[in-house]
Each structure stands twice: as structure tokens, then as C-alpha cells.
Structure 1
């Protein structure tokens, strides 16, 4: 937990605060948007939680912070909130946000899917005994899809714990050299009726996204939502911006309703509206 001695001056007075170890990953602002805001180069508590829901969200933000930069000086039921993760995003198809982001992935989000043919972990949270237990209660992990090298975090530990098959592109193998299934090339690969791997080189050479049920697109660091539209980050591109923009155009061939990124905000729209949002992004990038 955060150090009160390193509490940022940008926090308002009260129990919850952010300290100077914050890496500005945005997770707290996603978990408790009424409490946390970006102030300068860090997040800060700009309004203390005022009801039970906001308190719970603030504790969830504390637990999700990759660097332990959020603190609370009062007495709060943190143990109970630990069981909130993985957190349901869409009950219809049993899609979850894992929480517990890792500093190894700079706070990259990971996701979990309950599936009758074996559950999936998409990228990796911290390896924690209580989170492992929750995964066990949900039926374990059969497959771990890794979008790219930056967000593997503790994937190897979860693979060992559950005997899971890790899926990663060949050019990202240095991050998981003993991965069980290796994707090669740039053509989409159908893993089952529900799962399609789409190579999207650009952010890294072997970056891939995962399309689930033609509804959920797990985008790694390729694509996310910000404010009023989809976005892609040239500032954080690590391989080839021209290839990343070409890969974005490639996604226009597919239909999906959810964008679920590692970094950046997730978003749900109708398939038509999401396709339009992607088209708008491509037009902006071509301008």
C-alpha cells in the first residue's frame, strides 16, 4: 500500500490518497472515475468517496494499482473487496476483468473468459494465491492468449499452476520461450468456432488481437477507447507505426461490439457504431 509520507499534494484531504510512486497508468481513474483524476503527470484523489459504492470502487482501484501507489488511512474492508476480482464485464458470455495489474506490464489489463471447452486468460495479472483460487472456483485456465511481449507479466506462473496452453506469436517468443502454441505469419488463425487470432503487427512485430464470438475484441496495446473515439498510440509504438496503421485498417474486415485493451479504456458499442468508430479512426490517421 502507498506511503503517507509520499502522499502527493494534489490529493484532497481525506482517507484515500495517491503517492509519488504512481506511474499514471489510468487504472484507478477507470475503476473509480468519480474519485480519481489525472493531475499533471500522476493520478490523484480529487474528491473523497461519498457513498458505499464509491468507497468500494476506491478499494478496487487500490487493489488494481500495479505499483501499490494508492493508500487509505481509515478502516476499510479490503479483504472483502479482494473477492470482487475477476470482475464481470458481461454476464451474457462470462467475460471478466481480472484486476490486480502487474508492474511487469506497466499496469496492463488482463481478462478472463469462462468457456465450456476450457477457460481463457487474456494477457496476465499478478500471480496471487487468492486470484489463483478464484480462477480455480471458476473452472481453472485452459488457454492463455498473450497479445505481445510487453503484457505477459506472470503468464508462465499461471500456465504452470493450471497446465494451460500459452498462445503467442513467433516474433514475441523471447518473452515466453517455452510457450506451447506459436502463431506465425500475418493471416488470421481460427482456433475454434468462437476464437480467432488476428495478427496486428505494429505496436510490436508480432502483436496479435483475439476476437471472441465476433463480439469481443481483446486488443492488447493495438487499439483502445479515449474520450469520444477509438485511438491508437504512436507515442508508445515500439516497432512500426505504418504497420500499426495498416493493421488497424485490416480490422475493418471484422465485426465486434467490445474493445478490451491492455492499456487504455474499454468500450462497448453496437457492432455498426464500433465499425464506424474504427472507420473514423482510420480516416483521422490517413489525414
Structure 2
């Protein structure tokens, strides 16, 4: 629950507010852009009160997704209807309820005729699980890397789901049932392929679905401030050179939508994806990790 006693001093007056327990993960700003903004230290604050039912709904989604539950309303404690799962595009739903243990990473439910996929994990909540039940449950839990595991074990146990992770990161999910080893791709289910992309961590992977959707964890994201595909230099824990090579591998894929763990989801279209990815690996090598991190706003490009 948000705490009015530690409300951000820059909040605009009114019932909605943001408190200062924010961890700078940018989740709320993805869900309520223009309503929630960032101060000079990266903390979120309420820039203006909502002016329409759509904006109010956006703030409820931000409040439910926030991993520190830092967004509140002085007049109403709970949303009139559950904000999540929320359809981003037909077949892909955001699960919200981002976990602090994964620094607020997004997670997704992908509806499939042969069994639904959960990509990375939200907090386990009974109400959310009941709504996932209504959507057909989960057959596979797909973990992009060690950082965004959250409550995957509880979700897998509820549905008896297979849990996929790369061997290099498997110690983060000792309950995993499907361990990918080496640098080869693997077929998870019809139309769903897992591809190793070391860089952020040694065991980072992406999931390519139906030759159109790419779920990237912390490997690649849409930087909504730069309006371009981007990587995280300061959070490249394994190898910058390997990450550049991973970008070259990903550039060969056909992608319409990108769904990141950190960073915003985005409907790129195949042309924009191909154009930006064609040079990303080379740019990373030319600029280097230190140069990439020194670009404007780099200190808060963890989204």
C-alpha cells in the first residue's frame, strides 16, 4: 500500500500520489506516461491527475504493477476491476504485479492452443492466479535469465508447468525441468523457439514466437525516451562483446513486436526492427560499453 506520509514532494495536488519508496525501475512510467514522470534522481512522481476514465485506468495499472506499491489514491483503495492480465496485442497479455526481487521486471502470458506460456514471473497472487485459470492456466514457464525468476516456482507448482532456463543461470531456478545447454536453439512448443543470447548474464535467452513476437528479458529493449532499440551497458554483467554478438544473431530474426523484461514493449514492425538491428552490434563495438553508458540519461536507462 502506498504511504502518504512519505509522498513525493513534487506530486501535483489531488487524490493520486506517488511515495518515495520508488526504486527507479520505470514500471509506472511505462503504464502511465505523462501522468507519472521522473525527477532528477530517477524517482517517480505524479505530474498531473487523470482527466478521463482511460487515464484513471492507466494509473490503476501503474499502481498494481509497481513493485514497491508506491502509487496510491487517498479516496479509493482498490481498483473497481482487476487491471491484469491486460492485453497488449491479441495473444499477449501483461501480467503486471511486477516483483521487487526482479527489480520490477515485466512478465507476460502468451495464449497458445497447445498450452499457454508465462514469460518470466510476476508476484504470485491468488486473485491473479484465478484470472490466469480462466485463461487456461500455464503449460510452460519461460525464464529469460536468473534475475527475473521471482515467484516462478509457485506458478509452476500451481499448474504443473515445465520450467525452462539456460544451464548457466539454472542455479537461480533449481526446480527447473527443462535446462537448455550450450548455444543452440531449442523448440519449446509449436512456433516457440528459445535462443541463447549471452551478454547481460551468461545464461540469458530470448523467446521467439510465431516468427513475429520476441520476448527479450534484459537483453534488448525499446528505449521509450530515445525511441530506439537499446541495451543496458551498466547491467551487462557477463560480457559486452558477447552481447554485441547476440545483437547480430537477433538481427536475423523477423520481429513485429518486442516484449522486454525491463524497458517498454513496442509494436516495431518488421522494417524498423530490421533497420535498427542491422547496425546495433557494430555500434556497440565502436562506442564501447563505457561510451554507451555515458550517453545522456544513461544513469536512468534501466527500463
Answer yes or no: same fold by TM over 0.5: yes
Give 1:86's aligned residue. Answer: 85
Look up the match of 2:24: 24
Equivalences for residues 40-59 of structure 1 within 5 A: 40=40, 41-59=42-60
Partners of 1:50 and 1:253 in 2: CA distance: 43
Q: How far apart are the structure 1 equivalents of 2:9 and 2:163?
A: 43
Shift of 1:206: 0.5
Q: Give, in whole Å, the separation in 2 of the partners of 1:46 and 1:178.
A: 43
| Residue 194 of structure 1: aligned partner | 191
Q: CA deviation digits over 1:199-232, x for unaligned, max 9?
A: 0001001000000001000000000011321000
Tell me the equivalent position of 1:248. 247
Residue 236 (structure 1) aligns with? 235
* More divergent stretch after superposition (151-160 vs 191-200): 191-200
Q: Which residue of 2 aligns with 1:100?
A: 97
Are residues 11 and 280 of structure 1, via their aligned partners in 2, closer, same or farther at CA, if it must alter by over 3 Å?
farther
- How far residue 284 of structure 1 moved from its aligned partner, in angstroms, is 2.5
Distance (whole Å) between structure 1 residues aligned to residue 238 and residue 269 of structure 2: 32
**SS of match in other structure, 1:81:** coil
Q: Tell me if the contact between 2:97 and 2:123 (Cα under 8 Å) persists in the aligned partners.
A: yes
Secondary structure of the residue that 1:126 maps to in structure 2? coil
TM-score with structure 1 setting the length: 0.96
In structure 2, how many angstroms separate the alpha carbons of the residues matched to 1:244 and 1:201?
Answer: 6
Normalising by structure 2, we get a TM-score of: 0.91
RMSD: 1.2
261-270 vs 146-155, greater mean Cα deviation: 261-270
* 2:206 equivalent to 1:176: no
Contact 1:56 1:81 survives alignment (8 Å):
no
8 Å CA contact 1:10, 1:45 repeated in 2 = yes
Distance 1:96 1:244 in 2: 28
State the distance in 1 between where 2:49 and 2:80 align. 20
Unaligned residue ranges in structure 1 (runs of 5+): none
Q: 1:123 aligns with which of 115, 120, 123?
A: 120
> 1:9, 1:46 → 2: CA distance?
11
Identify unmatched segments of 5+ residues in structure 2.
287-303
Runs of 4+ residues over 6 Å off in structure 1:
none
| Alignment match, 1:75 | 76
Q: Given that residues 37 and 43 in structure 1 are in contact (C-alpha distance below 8 angstroms), is that contact kept between their aligned partners in structure 2?
A: yes
